[in-house]
Amino acid sequence: MKNHEELKQLTNMAALSLSDIEAEKLFNDIRNISQYLAEKLSGLDTRNTEPMVHVSDITNVFRDDNESDPLKREELLSNAPETVNGCFAVPKIIEEI
Amino acid sequence: MKGLNIRQTEYEAVIGLEVHAGLAVNTKMYCGCKTEFGAEPNTQCCPVCTGMPGALPVLNRKAVEYAIKAGLATNCSIIRYSRQDRKHYFYPDLPKGYQASQHNLPLCTGGFLEIEVNMSAKKVGIRGIHIEEDAGKLIHDESGKYSLVDYNRSGVPLIEIVTAPDLGSSEEVRAFILKLKTILEYTGVCDCKMQEGSLRVDINLSVRRRGESTFGNRTEIKNLNSVRAIVRAVEYEAKRQAEELEKGRSVRQETRRWDDARGVSYPMREKKGADDYRFFPDPDLCPIVIDDAWLNEIKSSLPELPDEKKKRFVLEYKLPAYDADFITGSKQLSDYFEEAAKRCRNHRAVCNWLMGDISKKLNESNIEVSDIPVSPENLAKLVELTDSGIISWKIAKQVFVVMWDTNRDPAEIIEEKGLRVINDTEEIRKVIIQVLEENPKAVEDIRNGKEKTIGFLIGQVMRKTGGKASPGIVNRLIFEELERLFHE
């Protein structure tokens, strides 16, 4: 991580708001971690390593197109801070994506 | 449209489409919740499709097969090793904070569709087709305090079909959408009920001076769900951009929304910073490997596609090319046609009913072909009854109206209402004699050489018999009777 601008972009995308003290601490942590990783990686010989497409070696895990029971609506909504008419109620969204 | 007409200017539009099609499967992409449209909010949901912690998604095999089918039907190459990626953004209709999609290794790549506009054929490139999950639906709360979220649609399987920027006009866009829609219907991949949102289109459009090879700044118009709205939005946007350039201004690269009621597009609120979806391979979802056996199995399940069917209809049923094109333009219509055509001899007549009275009724009542109230069996019977001279063409039209309302057997309707053609010569002769007696002036005119008046007399006979008299017999007898009168 090069500067605080990058951190700001990252926290924006992650929808986090940090105090200046938290930001400073996080900036240093991330920088240290990424430097450590960069050092480790640059020491590796990858000339004969195939690019990895996925972390898993398992392929083709599927289900058939068969219905299963849904959650009861009361149960589904039971953790919601607010509900209206069987829906999750969230702060008003003005523009749709 | 007032103002600048882009067709008459030095500008041309460059258009590419992203089409989202809801797959006609029973259950969602990663769980067994139903995909049915129109259910009570949040009654088709489970921990997987609402992003509860610890839930494990498992891919619906049929969704993969449908995506591959769509790829094969649009001349794509099918990838053998595919992967699903997470696309991240925050929005309340996306409970996981990301959409499972495909970024680098979509199932299908490099296809095309052929369209025909103004008698000339054009190939439209298809860059790729990938699978992804739909988001939930936001409902606006009447109190204005909240937005309400219904996750029934969350996780519903979609394919996104991305075209090359090969389209140049609203006519081409229209032809492409209709062609694609037909193919998706034929393959059974998507029901294409646009009013239910199962086919949604994003338009990427820029304009440039004719003959230029570089692209202008483009705008994206999101989420159009009717052919009419797509066509209007393309026309509006091309004109708007050409006018901007004409005034010496530049086109802003932005996302716009189409307001169909006002017939205008307008910019959506700018998001801070560029989009960064931070795609990465979804670790919960295993790679998809498509081997020869599986691919061949899917290939062999492909039905006859519209272009082939059109050729067959011309050969087998002797339909004119235009009619065959019309009928095969809809899978349901072509199925209906074949059901009826195999039950009667006059295939052209079946086709004429479908293109005439039935299409008219469908437009008037705004119903789908699948909901035509007259069964193909009964239409075939009506055609046979008309062909064999039991009822006249005119009466057939009356019978059809009753059939549309009741789907009853036409033979029953004819008997009940006494609509059978009158072939009884003596009965018809009696009516003719009566008509001649009642219209001495007309008879006199004919005697003086005004032969056209015969048509009037025939009309009177048909009126008296409720249109049921056999026209051949009426014609023959009316001359006989006139001759007899004139020789008296």
pLDDT tens-digit map of A22-35 = 999 999 999 999 99
CA distance B253 to B270: 11
Are B32 and A68 in contact (CB < 8 Å)? yes
The yes-or-no verdict on residue A73 having pLDDT over 80 is yes
Are A56 and B286 in contact (CB < 8 Å)? yes
User: Chain B within 8 Å of A71 (Cβ-Cβ)?
Assistant: yes
Q: pLDDT band for position B1 (50/70/90)?
A: very low
Which amino acid belongs to residue B487? Answer: H
CA distance B223 to B201: 5
Least confident of A66-75, B71-80, B288-297, B437-446: B437-446
pLDDT tens-digit map of B419-470 = 887 877 888 899 999 999 999 999 989 888 888 888 999 999 888 888 888 8
CA distance B261 to B255: 19
pLDDT at A10: 87
* Residues of chain A neighbouring B34 (CB-CB closer than 8 A): 67, 70
**Chain B nearest CA to A16, separation (Å):** 12
ipTM of the complex model? 0.88
Do B338 and B397 have their domain in common? yes
Are B288 and A84 in contact (CB < 8 Å)? no
The yes-or-no verdict on residue B78 having pLDDT over 60 is yes
Mutate to test the interface with A, among B286, B288, B289, B290 (most CBs of A within 10 A): B286
Are B147 and A90 in contact (CB < 8 Å)? yes
Closest-CA residue in chain A for B150? Answer: A87
**Percent of residues, chain B, with pLDDT higher than 90:** 73
Which of A24, A63, A84, A53 lies closest to B61, judged by CA? Answer: A63
Do B336 and B475 have their domain in common? no
Are B45 and A70 in contact (CB < 8 Å)? yes
Of residues B355 and B420, more confidently modeled: B355
A vs B, Cβ pairs < 8 A, gives 140
Would you tell me the crossing angle of helices B306-317 and B321-328 to the nearest 10 degrees? 130
Mutate to test the interface with B, among A7, A52, A55, A61 (most CBs of B within 10 A): A61
pLDDT at B473: 87
Domain that holds residue B318: 306-417
Do B265 and B322 have their domain in common? no
Do B214 and B327 have their domain in common? no
Do B407 and B444 have their domain in common? no
pLDDT at B468: 82
pLDDT at B452: 86
Do B191 and B327 have their domain in common? no
Mean pLDDT taken over chain A: 90
* Residues of chain A neighbouring B145 (CB-CB closer than 8 A): 92
pLDDT at B7: 67
Do B192 and B222 have their domain in common? yes
Q: In what order do the strands lie in the sheet with B146-150?
A: A83-84, A87-91, B146-150, B137-140
Calculate ∠ Cα A9-A12-B48, nearest 5°: 125
| Boundary-marking domain end, from B417, B445, B467 | B417
**Chain A nearest CA to B283, separation (Å):** 7
**Percent of residues, chain B, with pLDDT higher than 70:** 97
Return the number of other C-beta atoms located less than 10 Å from residue B231's C-beta. Answer: 17
Indicate which CATH number applies to the domain containing B456: 1.10.10.410
User: Chain B within 8 Å of A75 (Cβ-Cβ)?
Assistant: no
Strands (E), B154-268: 157-163, 199-209, 219-224, 254-259, 264-267
* Residues of chain B neighbouring A92 (CB-CB closer than 8 A): 140-141, 144-147
Do B76 and B154 have their domain in common? yes
Q: Within chain B, what is the greatest distance between any pair of CA atoms? A: 104
Where do the domains of chain A lie?
4-42
Q: pLDDT band for position B137 (50/70/90)?
A: very high
Residue B1 resides in a domain: no
Q: pLDDT band for position B264 (50/70/90)?
A: very high
pLDDT tens-digit map of B119-132 = 889 999 999 999 99
**Percent of residues, chain A, with pLDDT higher than 70:** 96
Do B321 and B460 have their domain in common? no
Task: Find the CB nearest A97 among B91, B146, B287.
Answer: B91
Q: How many domains does chain B have?
A: 3
Do B160 and B20 have their domain in common? yes
Do B151 and B45 touch, CB atoms closer than 8 A?
A: yes
pLDDT at B385: 93
* Residues of chain B neighbouring A10 (CB-CB closer than 8 A): none
Residue B103 resides in a domain: yes
Closest-CA residue in chain B for A56? Answer: B286
* Residues of chain A neighbouring B89 (CB-CB closer than 8 A): 97
Classify residue B386 as exposed, middle or buried by CB count within 10 Å of its CB (0-12, 13-18, 19+): buried
pLDDT tens-digit map of A10-24 = 888 888 899 999 999
Do B312 and B398 have their domain in common? yes
Q: Within chain A, what is the greatest distance between any pair of CA atoms? A: 59
Mean pLDDT taken over chain B: 92
Do B54 and B150 have their domain in common? yes
User: Chain B within 8 Å of A96 (Cβ-Cβ)?
Assistant: yes
The yes-or-no verdict on residue A80 having pLDDT over 80 is yes
Which of B324, B340, B323 lies closest to B384, judged by CA? Answer: B340
Classify residue B328 as exposed, middle or buried by CB count within 10 Å of its CB (0-12, 13-18, 19+): buried
User: Chain B within 8 Å of A63 (Cβ-Cβ)?
Assistant: yes
pLDDT at B234: 97
Do B44 and B80 touch, CB atoms closer than 8 A?
A: no
